[in-house]
Amino acid sequence: MKNAIVTGASRGIGKAVAIQLAKENFHVIINYVSNEIEAQKTLDEIIGFDGSAELLKFDVSDKTQTEKAIENWTKNNPDKYISVLVNNAGIRKDGLILWMSDEDWFDVINTNLNSFFYLTRIIVKEMLVNKFGRIINIVSLSGLKGMPGQTNYSAAKAGIIGATKSLAQETARKGVTVNAVAPGFIKTDMTAELDEKELKKIIPAQRFGKPEEVAHLVSFLASENSAYITGETISINGGIY
């Protein structure tokens, strides 16, 4: 059984990805930072269909916490390694840059972009040693086209897209692929306050996507069948361009 870690897996896209990977016979490490109740629900759902999973609490935006958590997991699982990393954790603090505070800028950059660096550089080592790995970064439509009021969020997601392309070239010959998935409007807690009725008018598919639809794409990229796909950003957005 291969091991996968999904950050921010207590709700939304992260939860759907964790559940789908467990259905694909991965042992899933469910990362969360504060919402223990929802993280436990994700774990319970996986255990409910005889899947394999565990909880691992740490703040991805905190370098020390991240390193300590992965080091402890490795120490407790000496014969295993994490072969799939899904960098999903993210936050939004929207606002026009004219009134954006330092805190709103750095919180979003730290959680959405710096976390990629802190976690990926640790986990990729064992992937390279074992000559197999899948790194899948959940980015956003905002990182591709930009969105007003999301300068911080768009900057962070665009940064990960650039990092995806570069890292893919560093690791490809060792059997480690690196790809990004860019969801559009997906029905989650993060989009709950958006005007779905109005936004559907700009979506050719005329609807918001489901977290499970994103999870199926991530599941394919995590599989051995995706071995010749790397450095790509794949949009899943109902046709928005």
Q: Which positions are catalytic?
A: 153
131: DSSP letter: T
Dig out the tokens for 79 from the structure: 């014969």
- Sign for the pseudo-dihedral over CA of 50, 56, 59, 60: negative
The torsion region of residue 230 among left (phi > 0), alpha (psi -120 to 50) and beta comes to: beta
**Among 122, 107, 121, 11, which residue's Cα sits nearest to residue 59?**
107
What number of H helices and E strands is found in the chain? 9, 7
Chain position carrying tokens 């796909």: 229
| Distance in angstroms between the alpha carbons of the first and the last residue of the chain | 39
